Amino acid sequence: MLAYILRRIFQSLIVLLAVGFVAFAMFSFVGDPVDNMLGQERTQADIERLREQLGLDQPFIVQYWRFLEQAAQGNFGLSYRQGRPVSEIIAERLPATVELALVSGFLAFIGGVGLGVFTAIRRHGLLPSFIMTASLVGVSLPTFLIGILLIYIFSVELGWLPSFGRGEVVDLGGWTTGFLTASGLKALILPAITLGLYQMTLIMRLVRTEMLEVLRMDYIRFARARGLTEKTINFRHALKNTLVPVITITGLQLGSIIAFAIITETVFQWPGVGLLFINAVQFVDIPVMAAYLMMISVMFVGINLIVDVLYFAIDPRLRIERSVGGH
Amino acid sequence: MVQPVLSIKSLVVEIPTRKGVLRPVDQVSYDIFPGEILGIVGESGAGKSMTGNAVIGLLERPARIVSGNVLLSGNPIHNLSASEFRKIRGKKIGMIFQDPLTSLNPLLTVGEQLVETIIEHLAVSKKEAQERAIAALEEVGIPAARERIGSYPHEFSGGMRQRVVIALALCAEPDFVIADEPTTALDVSVQAQIIALLKRLCRERGVGVMLVTHDMGVIAEAADRVAVMYAGRLAELGAVRDVLTAPKHPYTYGLMGSTPLASRGLKRLKQIPGSMPRLGALPEGCAFSPRCDFAQEVCKTGSSPFIADEDAQAACWFPLQHTKLRSSK
């Protein structure tokens, strides 16, 4: 088990190094920062001095190492646009994105598993068929369209929910939360649905397919032959086996929820890191872009790692086989 | 006379398909008595397992029982509702599946699976169910049952898993057990152990066993009586000794001829020409007639031959009258 986790961590580090390289490459290849930083009136001496100051006179490898060193400490330099440390800007924006992602991930998982199990157990009937058809819409409609539709219905026509922003937030020692105020919660509803709907339909279809597969297994027939109730069979025997692959996908989806919150955040003007990134792209604010890239990759790799460990918790077969393999 | 624990009378199972109605089980009748093992043999698709599934109420749609009776200790069970049937499954009728590698839930310990079954059917506390589970494992010959009750199925070998499956099928003390190819997926050496275990439990508890298999060796070893099925019908029914040494139905005769026996020496095995007809394309008359060496005109005409049951033991117009099969072939 420990050897397995160490191996996974090592693999994760390699992935991060590769992403770090790409992030670093952006600095070198998207224009010369010295040109941007010094105005028109510059001398060759100014340029040399600044190059030396920024370490740009060093060999490529040394620069890369320095970048990694700084990045590992969370230091990505100053934002070109705002002139403040990038890490500070991101820390300010992160709570909004994390809260949005968690809520919509939670909605997607609960809704997806619930509907998936329902449509798998009741294969025939009007309601399950309707849900299956409706889920196609969820899968095929682009996120921004869903967002705009929701805004049109619930904000413009009905006027029930706000169409943009985060509402009032409470500051809890550096972490701003919208969970504690009514307007914060109200503001969360539409973006969370927009962001989670696609994931929910995806999880639902996955759960349904897996569950139907599991329900055909011998141990389910054997459970029936032992006279267990349908409830026990469906929820104790089938669901647990269904969730093994579902957890991987859901875990990975949580990563993409955060990463691709960009669109939802843009539609709802949600003050999170996604919106920050879009603005950074518009202004070629490379330190912000690089930091965002690194942050997302750390997150993906971290979630992957957690999912792998979760496997052990659910499936006893892995625990044994790995330890046997370690001898 | 002892009442049969299971009595099947003229059971017909049909599957409606687009091309017409198939009859995987057609007019099958037999009794199984307490403490008796009835072997059901036949080729794949002969309707052996389908009969077992019909008895325990696990036919998969669209297959259904259209006529006939199934009596369990004298009470009809073929017309029970789904929830009534569930209550007798496990409690009155146990079932042992073919592949022990796939018939246990991999994510639950064997103890959890035993306890849930016991609690479902018997009014006992969880603690007592645990004790009973340990006793059930000991009875089927799992060493150190008390320690191993918390083990997961993958931590047992194939033979041990099949013992667990048997313990699960018997833990709520049913009167009747369907064993659907219980040894097919096992090593030969383990097969003998499992058969011996089944025999012992059957004798000790007075359980009736329907032993579905295509292995004549298993039948010879374990069964008291044997029912031979062909294309959904019963071809022959009788005591194992009689059927094996002096088969009356030409199909059984052919089946015996194609089974290697030590007493017969190393001669080339005889084959039955052709293969079993598909259910959608049964010939008129006797379904075996196109492959039968002894078939005459009457076998091929529309009038169907009589049906094997407890009285007339072979469904054949011309049952073989032989005295010395063993030496002649």
Please say whether the beta carbons of A274 and A264 come within 8 A.
yes
Instruction: Find the CB nearest A320 among B89, B103, B154.
Output: B154
- Give all strands (DSSP E) within B169-269, no chain letters: 176-180, 208-212, 225-230, 233-239
Average pLDDT, chain B: 84
Count chain A–chain B contacts defined by CB atoms under 8 A: 84
**Largest interatomic CA distance in chain B:** 67
Confidence of residue B216 (pLDDT cuts 50, 70, 90): confident
CB–CB contact B97 A222 (8 Å):
yes
Q: Could you give the CA distance from residue B134 to residue B146 in angstroms, rounded to a whole number?
A: 6
Q: Which residues pair with B209 in a beta bridge?
A: B37, B177
State the smallest CA–CA distance between residue B169 and chain A in angstroms: 7
Express each pLDDT in B229-277 by its tens digit: 888 888 888 888 888 888 888 888 888 777 776 666 666 777 777 778 7
Q: A313 at the B interface (CB within 8 A)?
A: no
Q: Could you give the CA distance from residue B68 to residue B49 in angstroms, rounded to a whole number?
A: 17
Q: Could you give the CA distance from residue A149 to residue A8 in angstroms, rounded to a whole number?
A: 42
B236, B26, B322, B182: which is closest to B225 by C-alpha?
A: B236
- Among chain B residues, the shortest Cα distance to A314 is held by B107
CB–CB contact A316 B168 (8 Å):
no
Q: Cβ contacts (< 8 Å) between A316 and chain B: which residues?
A: 106-107, 152, 154
Express each pLDDT in B100-152 by its tens digit: 888 999 889 999 999 999 998 988 999 999 999 999 999 888 888 898 999 99
CB–CB contact B152 A316 (8 Å):
yes
Instruction: Find the CB nearest A237 among B105, B120, B169.
Output: B105
A78, A91, A88, A68: which is closest to A19 by C-alpha?
A: A68
With 0-12 CB in 10 A as exposed, 13-18 as middle and 19+ as buried, what is A310?
Answer: middle
Predicted confidence (pLDDT) at residue B326 exceeds the cutoff of 90: no
> What is the per-residue pLDDT for B133?
92
- What are the distances in angstroms from CA A34 to CA A23, A24, A47, A76, A268? 18, 16, 7, 17, 36
Which tokens belong to B52?
């077992």
Please say whether the beta carbons of A204 and A133 come within 8 A.
no
Q: Cβ contacts (< 8 Å) between B106 and chain A: which residues?
A: 219, 241, 315-317
CB–CB contact B95 A229 (8 Å):
no
Q: A224 at the B interface (CB within 8 A)?
A: yes
What is the value of pTM for the model shown? 0.76
Q: Could you give the CA distance from residue A47 to residue A97 in angstroms, rounded to a whole number?
A: 39
- What are the distances in angstroms from CA B115 to CA A27, B9, B292? 64, 35, 51
**A259 three-class SS:** helix
Please say whether the beta carbons of B197 and B141 come within 8 A.
yes
CB–CB contact A240 B107 (8 Å):
yes
> What is the per-residue pLDDT for B209?
93
> What is the per-residue pLDDT for A132?
86
Express each pLDDT in A9-68 by its tens digit: 888 889 888 888 888 887 766 666 666 666 667 778 877 877 777 666 777 778 788 878
Express each pLDDT in A199-254 by its tens digit: 888 889 899 999 998 888 889 989 988 888 888 888 888 888 888 788 777 877 77
* H/E element, A64: helix A60-72
CB–CB contact B88 A232 (8 Å):
no
Strands B75-76, B64-72: pairing kind = antiparallel
Confidence of residue A124 (pLDDT cuts 50, 70, 90): confident
Q: Could you give the CA distance from residue A152 to residue A190 in angstroms, rounded to a whole number?
A: 11
Instruction: Find the CB nearest A229 among B86, B88, B104.
Output: B86
Q: A222 at the B interface (CB within 8 A)?
A: yes
DSSP assignment of B208-234: EEEEE-S-HHHHHHH-SEEEEEETTEE
